[in-house]
Amino acid sequence: MYPHTLRWSNFHLTLGPRTAIMGIVNVTPDSFSDGGRFYGVDAAEVQAQQLIAAGADIIDIGGESTRPFAEQVPAQAEIDRVVPVIERLAATFPIPVSIDTTKAEVAEAALAAGAAMINDISALTMDPRMAETAARWGVPVILMHMKGSPRTMQINPHYDDLMAEIIAYLKSAMAQATAAGIPKTHLIIDPGIGFGKTISHNLKIIQQLGRLSELEAPILIGPSRKAFIRKLLASGADAALTVDRPEVETGTQAALAMAIINGAHIVRVHDVANTKAMVTIVDAIRTS
């Protein structure tokens, strides 16, 4: 695994010898993973505190569901959901808070509230102002591959050459980001597990994740509780297991472990405590 170092503002992340953990806090009423359990400032803050105590290196705050077939929400509604949470966390905890959004207006408000990273599932393509916003604030940006949009991405996704197409997309996104003034050393890439991918596509991405190393950027991956895991583990008449089944977390940890072995630098997860235990052992084996 190629090592990378992220330095910005008051933060410093060394990636490679130790896998970083990004904990997810969805401040939404309709997330696939937690069904609105943290929809509210107090509930979201408590969840974030628990993830940080369990070992999260980054907290990712999202105010709009990106599950398949999800509808967009207005920017102001998204701001109203995330900004109060970010203000509390940024003032209390010394780790970076990431804003998960495709809207520059939301990113601007979140960064002003104390967020220190942008996680954009559209790789800066859905809002032409996003790249300028990220460059002006000088924060790291996660560029994710997605085929289509959340409303369309799971309608018969097809690739002629899966990994080559993902690499080409991310290479182009990185070039556009640097042209807008974002330093290459501030870019993180994400192959987009579950975003316009079949079960077979997701498995191949994890298996061949090391091919993304040619882009010379830290690799983030987020298979946590995704449908492909739930479907692979389902039996009988079940189309997929519910996200709260314990075997879904076991499946998630297996996918994460393989991703780390194959080159992931950052893992984005719901269950930080279990992930921390897995990462500790896998990293120890990798670096022994």
Nearest C-alpha neighbor of 131 from the set 102, 154, 160:
102
Read off φ and ψ for residue 9, nearest 5 degrees: 45, -125
Could you tell me if residue 286 is left (phi over 0), alpha (psi between -120 and 50 degrees) or otherwise beta?
Answer: alpha
Active site residue 226: yes
SS3 214: helix
Nearest C-alpha neighbor of 191 from the set 225, 168, 158:
168
Tokens coding 179: 């042209």
Tokens coding 196: 């316009």
Distance CA 65, CA 277 (A): 28
Find the Cα–Cα–Cα–Cα dihedral 155, 198, 248, 27, rounded to 10°: -50
* Residue 275: partners with Cβ closer than 8 Å, 6 or more residues away: 21, 55, 253, 256, 267, 269
Nearest C-alpha neighbor of 255 from the set 243, 264, 245:
264
Of 81, 226, 230, 276, catalytic? 226
SS (H, E, C) 228-268: HHHHHHCCCCCCCCCCCCHHHHHHHHHHHHHHHHCCCCEEE
Of 81, 88, 197, 268, catalytic? 268
Q: Name the residues annotated as catalytic.
A: 226, 268
